[in-house]
Amino acid sequence: MKVRFFGSLSDRIGREIELTPPAAGCTIAELRRSLAEAYPGAAAELARPTVRACVDDVIVPDTYLVSAQSRVAFFPPLSGG
């Protein structure tokens, strides 16, 4: 599964990483926890409810189940003009 990061998350983790989820898949919440363990510098930000998850171009809740074929992205709130 490809996981992309935007904003300050890309500064802490990188723009994109490749992961192998469990065969049965995992929820976005489980994916957040796994990423927080692997990247402790981004743990607090990944836990924020304002950091949204997007799967295959659709914003999804933390209960959403992802698989190896999913394209996942995490992005913090955007600001600017």
Q: Does residue 81 belong to any structural domain of this protein?
A: no
Cα of first residue to Cα of last residue in the chain, in angstroms, is 33
The boundaries of the domain holding residue 37 are 2-75
Q: Does residue 8 belong to any structural domain of this protein?
A: yes
- Global pTM value: 0.90
Q: What is the CATH number of the domain that holds 50?
A: 3.10.20.30
The whole-number pLDDT of residue 47 equals 93
Q: Which two tokens mark 1? A: 């599964």
The whole-number pLDDT of residue 5 equals 96
The whole-number pLDDT of residue 79 equals 52
> Which of the residues in the chain have pLDDT under 50?
81
The DSSP bridge partners found for residue 27 are 65
